A and B are shown apart, each in its own frame.
Chain A
Amino acid sequence: MAEAPQEEGGPVRFMRQHIALDYKVHVSPLAERFGEQLRGGQIVGSRCPQCGLVYVPTRAFCPMCTVAMGEGDETSLPDRGTVTSFTILTPIQYHGQKEREDYALASVLIDGADGTVGQQRITDVPLEEIRMGMRVEAVWAPEDERVSDPGDRGYGFGNALRGWRPTGEPDVPADAFAEHVL
């Protein structure tokens, strides 16, 4: 909220009106199931029966083919992948913001998936060493702390994953993931 200067005794320029609206968003049955498997330490994707593309997290339909997908189209994926792109953020302090320190968010192409998962935390590496093509593995939260919140920013991974850390494997060359910069 822009803080406009208010002169002492001067005309009123702004009045604050904080509007709080509460929304109850249901966890969809699909997200519920995905979260259950995450709690069990399993990352699951959906393979489209028509085009064969693998999406993670699971989807109710393939948006490319507009074909429904169900449990029968689920496929397990390893918890390793490649950083295809990233940014380092200095968090803007707005109402409700909890982040204080600079942090990195990356798109990770999980091995076997055709689409990336975005907004993933990168951990256990200095920010300036993060790079495109870096190989990473999931950092799982302890089993009893894995709470999946499909409305969260981790594209449905919730608190099940703390983030992704480097594996130490050689970087993947740029042209190998050129189509997955998102």
Chain B
Amino acid sequence: MAERCAVVGVGQTHHAKVRDDVSLAGLLREAGQRALDDAEMTWTDIDAVVIGTAPDSFEGVMMPELYLADALGAAGKPIMRVHTAGSVGGSTAVVASHLVQSGVRKRVLTLAFEKQSEGDTTWALGGGRSGGVGAGGYFAPHIRAYIARSKAPEYVGWMVAVKDRKNALKNPYAHLKVPDIDLEMVRDSPMVWDPVRRLESCPASDGACAMVLTDEAGGDAASKKPAWVHGTAVRSELGQFPGRDPVNPRGGQDCAADVYRQAGISDPLEEVDVVECYVPFSWYEPMWMENLGFAPLGEGWKLTDDGETELGGKLPVNPSGGVLSSNPIGASGMLRFAEAAMQVRGTAGEHQVPGARTAVGHAYGGAAQYFAMWVLRDVKP
């Protein structure tokens, strides 16, 4: 029987294109300190540290847990570093939750980060060689295939881009703030990877996210309302194989089914109050709505079109502004998980979904082949 796991503290940095006011360690301390303050704990209260970040070549630091051990108060403690490509922020939180649910640790600090300004991400994504297509270049054909399959109108992508950036205006930590954004501005922005336009794409950010996870006793002792973990799941599938559907990957479907089963969810659209999912290019919102079981195949775009994924809609998606507004790659997955926690704890401030009690956090990575999810509620499982 697994131990219960509670999220009792959440912290993140002010995400920006360049955080030249902090070192890599400083970036993590900012997020970690906020999470500990939120948890009303100190660095010495922590039993174990789990960090996650995307490829080392993004900053040029190999195995950064070694360098960061001091800054994260980990001397004398266990520290691990998870690496599962873009989903890493999410899978890191899952690994941290395993430490608690297994009964091995009681208070785990988990962090995820990226300081993209200290490296060259496109160069790193391209393996240091010419002809690197960037993440957008890889996903654009899948987006084209989705649009062709679903016959969704082209403005759906613009709608998501506008919604997430408007949500970001309510998030003090978000990177991109485009107050006058509207559909025409997105439509008229340059095409970067046809059919994906610049304003439909995520930024590159410096940023970090942190959470404090505790066992049931820790959750009970917390003075602020904890978020309780009701399910976690990870799935990996081969990035390329005959007959693969990268538009609606089986790995994502299975990950969602697993986590819903654990949480007792049979009708996601009705039973989930808010979703923070990994949308780096606007069309991924309708695609994930289908993949994660919120909408039937071919109809994910209708949820967007009908305004249901807005903050005031039936299923708010990415009220934080999502990856489209802040994308420190290694942290983005954990930000989704953390924002889900903020929603059920009622600490999301201006972008709070009123009365949110069940939240889903989702991250994906690689060739849309790595998936990590969790379901949180404001009551114990």
Query: CB within 8 Å of B: which of A60-93?
Result: 63-64, 85-92
Residues of B within 8 A of A85 (CB): 141-142, 144-145
| A4: Cβ under 8 A from any B Cβ | yes
Query: A119, B245: Cβ atoms under 8 Å?
Result: no
Whole-angstrom CA separation of A181 from B132 in the bound complex? 20
Given A53-B242, A118-B240, is A95 in contact with B133 using a C-beta cutoff of 8 Å? no
Most chain A C-beta atoms within 10 Å of own C-beta, residue among B116, B148, B192, B242:
B242
Q: How far is the CB of B319 from chain A (nearest CB, A)?
A: 28
- In the complex, are the beta carbons of A97 and B116 less than 8 A apart? no
- Within the assembled complex, what's the spacing in Å between the Cα atoms of A19 and B194? 33
Q: Mark A1-15, 1 if CB is under 8 A from B, else 0.
A: 110100000000110
Q: How many residues of B contact A (CB 8 A)?
A: 43
| B202, chain A: closest CB distance, angstroms | 14
- Taken together as a complex, chains A and B put the C-alpha atoms of A89 and B126 apart, in Å, by 14
CB–CB B144/A132 < 8 A? yes
Contacts of B244 in A (CB 8 A): 182
Knowing A4-B18, A19-B60, A99-B131, the reply to whether A63 touches B141 (Cβ < 8 A) is no
Q: Is B63 part of the contact surface with A, judged by Cβ < 8 Å?
A: no
User: In chain A, what residue has the closest Cβ to B129?
Assistant: A96
| With A2-B117, A4-B18: A181-B133 Cβ-Cβ less than 8 Å | no
Residues of B within 8 A of A132 (CB): 144-145, 148
Q: Which of B53-98 contact A (CB under 8 A)?
A: 60
What is the total number of residues of chain A having a CB less than 8 Å from a CB of chain B?
43
Q: How far is the CB of B24 from chain A (nearest CB, A)?
A: 13
B253 within 8 A of A: no
Scan residues 115-139 of chain A and give those whose CB is less than 8 A from a CB of chain B.
115-116, 118-119, 132
Q: Mark B243-263, 1 if CB is under 8 A from A, else 0.
A: 111110000000000000000
By a CB distance below 8 angstroms, the chain B residues around A89 are 133, 137, 192-194
| B164-208 near A? 1/0 per residue, CB < 8 Å | 000000000000000000000000001111111000000010000
Known: A87-B137, A88-B193, A179-B245. A96 touches B240 (CB 8 A): no
**Top 3 closest pairs, chain A to chain B, by CB:** A114-B242, A85-B141, A87-B140
Q: Return 16 A-B CB contacts under 8 Å, by A number.
A: A85-B141, A87-B194, A88-B194, A89-B193, A94-B120, A95-B123, A96-B129, A97-B126, A98-B130, A98-B131, A99-B131, A116-B240, A178-B149, A180-B243, A181-B245, A182-B246
